[in-house]
């Protein structure tokens, strides 16, 4: 569980570097939500963080993620996210 949280925190913190390496931020200095953050959130969080699911709040929009940014970073650093195997 802790590795998943740390991995997600590292991914969110290093988006500009990884995005540049993978070519999604070639002309940008900073990452964008649509190109860099949303794919991470949608692939790792949205299955539970959407209306009608187990998580207590939605993470489907920029505003949702922005409003919870500090909580996301703190939770990722603490390893508080479910692992992919715990979702089964």
What residue spans define the domains of the chain?
2-87
Mean pLDDT of 71-82: 86
What the block records as the tokens of 86 is 């715990």
Q: What is the pTM of this model?
A: 0.61
Confidence at residue 33, expressed as pLDDT on a 0 to 100 scale = 93
Residue range 6-30, pLDDT digits in tens = 556 555 655 444 444 555 555 667 8
Query: Under DSSP, is residue 6 helix (H, G, I), strand (E, B) or coil?
Result: helix
Q: At what angle do helices 2-13 and 69-78 cross, to 10 degrees?
A: 130
Q: Is the pLDDT of residue 37 over 70?
A: yes
């Amino acid at each position: 569980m802790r590795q998943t949280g740390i991995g997600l925190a590292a991914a969110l913190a290093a988006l500009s570097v990884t995005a540049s390496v993978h070519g999604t931020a070639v002309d940008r200095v900073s990452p964008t939500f649509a190109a860099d953050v949303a794919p991470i959130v949608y692939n790792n969080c949205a299955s539970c963080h959407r209306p009608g699911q187990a998580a207590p709040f939605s993470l489907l929009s920029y505003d949702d993620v922005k409003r919870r940014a500090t909580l996301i970073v703190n939770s990722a650093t603490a390893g508080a996210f479910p692992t992919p195997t715990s979702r089964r």
